[in-house]
Amino acid sequence: MKDADALFAALRQSTDPEAADAIDDLVRNAPDHALCRVNVLSFAAERKLNEERAIGAFLHAARLGLFELSWNVLCPGCGGVLAANTSLRTVRSEHYNCALCAAGYEPTLDELVEVTFTVSPRVRRIAAHDPESLSIAEYSRQYYWGSGIELPANFAEIVDELTLETIELPPGERAILSLQLPAQFAIVFDPVSHAAQFLDVQGEPTQERQSLSMILNDTHTPNEAVRLRPGPLRLQLENNTHHRVLPGVWIADDRLHDLLGHRRPFLTAKRLLTNQNFRDLYRTDTLDIDQRLKIVSLTFLFTDLKGSTELYERVGDLAAFDLVKAHFQVLHEIVASEAGAVVKTIGDAVMATFPTPERALAAALRMREAMGSFNRAHGGSQDLLLKIGIHEGPCLAVMLNERQDYFGQTVNIASRVQNLAASHAIFATGAVVEDPQTTALLKHAGLMPRPQPQPLRGISQEVPVYEIP
């Protein structure tokens, strides 16, 4: 830990000191399992920290080498980690299979890819740095299930109650388990290779020994349930992986379903991509040039300055440039404070993303107010008026011009909506205005959206647009 003191000092200089102190305390005093795949949102809630500041602090900690990032593809059914990646670059766009849920999923960055943080071994060595030393309960807790599963304190006891038999099997080895099957649905499950075989145990009990063979590999292929009767079972297991496996026979009753039913919020890849700290710290270390990852819902905000051309003519290039640059700084700060990120600036315009529509609208309202103050502080007679457009919908996360960007019709519509806006106006689509949280925000602010039945240039579909007065 002595070597980490300098890193924690640097962390306090680069991020929120309160969040940095909380991370320092976590590293020094938390049990090992609490430092493996940290759920930042739960950490912030437990420590009563602002979520955005906590996320920013962990990002800075990872950049300094205190923690390691992991981008985990999740099964939405059981919450298991189907693949762990050190970079978003290695997340595939095709389907992932969950053998435990007998289903396949196409990863989206909204809820199926989480981002977690594990303490670096050079800062503090924990058991998870040597996963082959973990028991089946601890391996399941720390490696199989994602950070969105809220496992109870007596998790190991519950696993022990649910397990009929288990074995540790080295790579290339075979083993035979002999056990008595009760008249209950069961699963042969290995949290390491994710292999699973369902056992539908029913009917009259038998004294005759039943046999079943199972080969464990890394394909995650779902299997059909095998019909067996209550009674003795001879289970032959073969490890065809290159690592230790921990197969066991689990009872799949209400206790298991209840165990997996307690969920909590977690940091999604989408939210991290729309975080300004992440974009600033990891400018190019995101996607590969040919990678395309889906986002089901992302909110885009476009701004543009009305009057900037006339401003250059009135005050000259240097003074006008300084004013435009200062206005960019104002917008950047507002975007970041509303959990958003500036994707790029184009001339006098800004393109920003937000995880939800109400965050984008809250930012837009603050921008409008801030620009009023900005103009008053700079003379008042040479107003820079901000035009704002907002739209929400699906898109693709891509790499364009060596930076992480977005592609799709949602982006095009958001840009066209901004083009409709007159000076000092906020225009938003129905997808934004009709969002329940946005509706609540507008009601609280005493604002009534006014329909603007205008076609969007180059967009054939009908898109309802509203002006926020």
- Strand residues in 284-419 grouped as ranges (E): 293-306, 341-346, 349-354, 385-400, 403-407
Q: Rounded to whole angstroms, how far apart are CA atoms 146 and 74?
A: 7
Residue-range domain boundaries for the chain: 2-152, 159-261, 288-468
Determine the CATH number of domain 288-468. 3.30.70.1230
- Residue 142 has a pLDDT of 94
In angstroms, how far is CA 405 from the centroid of its own chain? 17
How far lies 36's CA from each of 33, 85, 139, 373, in Å?
5, 14, 11, 46
Buried b / exposed e over 230-251, threshold 16 CB at 10 Å, is bbbbebebebebeebbbbbbbb
The SS3 assignment for 73 reads strand
pLDDT attached to residue 380: 57
Per-residue model confidence as pLDDT tens for the chain (469 residues): 667 889 999 999 999 999 999 999 999 999 999 999 999 999 999 999 999 999 999 999 999 999 999 999 999 999 999 999 999 999 987 888 888 888 888 889 999 999 999 999 999 999 999 999 999 999 999 999 999 999 998 999 999 999 999 999 999 999 999 999 999 999 999 999 999 999 999 999 999 999 999 999 987 777 789 999 999 999 999 999 999 999 999 999 999 989 888 999 999 999 999 999 999 998 766 888 888 999 999 999 999 988 666 777 777 778 778 888 889 999 999 999 999 999 999 888 999 999 999 999 999 999 999 988 888 887 654 567 899 999 999 999 998 888 899 999 999 999 999 999 887 789 999 999 999 999 999 999 999 999 998 888 888 888 999 999 9
The identity of residue 338, as a single letter, is E
pLDDT given for residue 337 in this prediction: 94
Q: What span, in angstroms and rounded, lies between the C-alpha atoms of 337 and 359?
A: 10
pLDDT at position 383 is 67
Q: How far apart are CA 282 and CA 269, in angstroms?
A: 13
CA–CA separation, 266 and 263 (whole Å) = 9
Distance CA 421, CA 388 (A): 6
CA distance 390 to 300: 6
> In angstroms, rounded to a whole number, what is the distance separating the alpha carbons of residues 141 and 152?
10
Q: Pick the closest to residue 57 from 84, 26, 89, 32 (CA basis).
A: 26
Identity of the residue numbered 232:
P
